[in-house]
Amino acid sequence: MSGRPGSPKLLVEPAALAAGFAHALHRVGIPASPERAGRFARALALVPPDDRSRLYWTARVAFIADVGQLPAFDRVFAAVFDSSVDLADGRGDPADAAAGPRRVPDRPPPGGQPRPGAPSPGTPAVPARPGRPGTAGGADAEDGAPAVLAAASPDERLRRASFAELASDDLAAVRRLVRKLELATPPRRTRRTRRSARAADPVDVRRSLRLAQRTAGDPVRLVHRRRRMRPRRLVLLCDVSASMEPYTAVFVALLQGAVTGLRADAYVFSTRLTRLSRVLADRDPDRALQRAAAAAPDWAGGTRLAESLRRFVTEHGRRGAARGAVVVILSDGWERDDPEQVAAQMARLRRLAYRIVWVNPRKAAPGYAPLVGGMAAALPYCDGFTSGHSLDALAELAITVAAVRTRSGGPGTPGRRLLPGVRSSTLNE
């Protein structure tokens, strides 16, 4: 960087500078991916680095996602932009990977005087941070306050934010991200078969006899077969009562993404059960949400969990919707019916479903315990229990949905361990 005082200019192309700086960060252990390097190059084209502070924050926003990476980032930035550094020096040399960027010694001007602004011999180098001109660490160095970490992107900034605390703009961005979330179910064996090259698989008698007709009826070659695999059916039941209103918009976006991407079966319930698979097949998110609210007349009403589960099992589950499927229930468990009825309907559902995963956004609250009547009665029949209150929690839900069933007893076995640290015999205590 060089140019008029206070207005430095880049002597290289933004793409080349971004690639070289990303390589220097990668050599000191900072995960500078090509995506972040491209983001930095685009930022340089949009926001010209008129001063060092602007260049620093542009690079920091593009490359840093963890506050623990700041010391190494500051060292690399100071070595690269506060001196003459060959960014391509040592590239591809594994022996030089831990050495960091190489610094070219400053040559003093004729007369033996050091260059203005260069550190004197014996003065330790202090990683420079953006601040007021003439200070080593800016405002943070004077008052001792820690620097505020800038998130690498809006997506990463929203990862840990609770859906109930988001503004309208952030909520719209989260809904777009949630619709792209992939809920992959574990595979199951179908009745259809395909040819297999493994001799340990069963012999396909029909194909083997058909092939033996080419050798005068002598079965010289045996054909083996194996059953085809396909993903299990995914069923989502979302509570849209008044107590779930802060999370309803995001959860409906999750249902829409599962319906359009995985052909899942989606239902909502409050005081009654409503099937929304056809309504949510609309790829327009706002129109789908409006049509879903119009299709469910009990939207933002009370909660009748036991009755909704009974209607699902009787009218849909027993007819094939829940047989061998992964059933995801999104509800806080607040119930007006008798908890014993909830337990009875969960037992019926468990006999049909492959796995049951419960998503309760209240689980993220400090000191939460499943003591509410409906939640305590339903949890012994669940194979997974997550919060789903943020993007990170929904990523955990995706892992839980893709897990394979591990059951050690029959449905509703008392005292059987279903979740880490939870036994069904202790939930009602």
**Higher per-residue confidence, 234 vs 213:** 234
Same domain, 204 and 293: no
Q: Check: CB of residue 289 under 8 Å from CB of residue 252.
A: yes
Same domain as 219, residue 332: no
Neighbours of 42 (CB within 10 A): 14
Cβ atoms within 10 Å, residue 214: 10
SS3 of 284-351: the string is CHHHHHHHHHHHCCCCCCCCCHHHHHHHHHHHHHHHHHCCCCEEEEECCCCCCCCHHHHHHHHHHHHH
Residues 218 and 275 in one domain: no
Report residue 351 as tokens.
């006999």
Q: pLDDT value at position 151?
A: 36
| Range in 27-36, 198-207, 330-339 the model is least confident about | 27-36
Q: Is the pLDDT of residue 130 over 50?
A: no
pLDDT computed for residue 155 by the predictor: 57
Which range, of 151-165, 204-218, 372-386, averages the lowest pLDDT?
151-165
Whether 248 and 382 map to the same domain: the answer is yes
Residue holding tokens 């297999």?
Answer: 196
How many CA atoms are closer than 13 Å to the CA of 1, on its beta-carbon side? 21
Check whether residue 344 and residue 417 sit in a common domain. Answer: yes
Which DSSP string do the residues of 45-72 spell out, in sequence order? HHS---SHHHHHHHHHHHH---GGGHHH
Domain annotation covers residue 110: no
Work out the burial of residue 265: count CB atoms within 10 Å of its CB; fewer than 13 is exposed, 13-18 middle, 19 or more buried.
buried
Is the pLDDT higher at 208 or at 141? 208
Asked if residue 419 has pLDDT above 70, the reply is: no
- The pLDDT tens digits of the residues spanning 228-263 come to 889 999 999 999 998 899 999 999 999 999 998 888
More confidently predicted of 178 and 123: 178
State how many domains the chain has: 3
In a domain? residue 172: no
Pairing state between β 234-239 and 326-330: parallel
In the chain, what percentage of residues exceed pLDDT 70?
74
Determine the Cα–Cα distance for residues 224 and 197; give it in Å rounded to an integer: 7
Instruction: Identify the weakest region by mean pLDDT among 73-87, 116-130, 264-278.
Output: 116-130
Residues 251 and 294 in one domain: yes
Average pLDDT for residues 135-156, to the nearest whole number?
A: 43
The verdict on 374 and 414 lying in the same domain is yes
What does the pLDDT read at residue 429?
31
53 within some domain: yes
Residue 35, in any domain of the structure = yes
Q: Are residues 312 and 418 in the same domain?
A: yes
Which residue type is seen at 184?
A
Is 28 within a domain? yes
Q: Name the domain boundary from 200, 230, 260.
A: 230
| 113 pLDDT above the threshold of 70 | no
Mean pLDDT for the stretch of residues 180-195: 88
Q: CA–CA distance from 359 to each of 383, 394, 408 (Å)? A: 11, 9, 23
Domain with 18, as residue range(s), is 2-105+128-152
Residue 364 included in any domain: yes
175 inside domain: no
Question: Which range has the worst mean pLDDT, 16-20, 221-225, 305-309?
Answer: 16-20
Q: Specify burial of residue 119 (Cβ count, 10 A radius: 0-12, 13-18, 19+).
A: middle
- Which residue, 180, 199, 230, sits at the end of a domain? 230
pTM: 0.58
One domain, residues 54 and 80: yes
Do 346 and 263 have their domain in common? yes
Average pLDDT over residues 323-335: 92
pLDDT at 351: 94
Q: Are 198 and 254 in a shared domain? A: no
- State how far the Cα of 339 lies from the Cα of 381, in Å rounded to an integer: 13
CATH code at position 374: 3.40.50.410
As a whole number, mean pLDDT of residues 192-215 equals 86
The pLDDT of residue 407 is 57
Confidence class for position 154, pLDDT limits 50, 70, 90? low
**Model confidence at 412: pLDDT above 50:** no
Task: Give residue-wise pLDDT tens across range 345-356.
Answer: 999 999 999 999
Last residue of a domain, one of 178, 213, 230: 230
Whether residue 345 is found in the same domain as residue 416: yes
103 forms beta bridges with: 85
In a domain, 116, yes or no: no
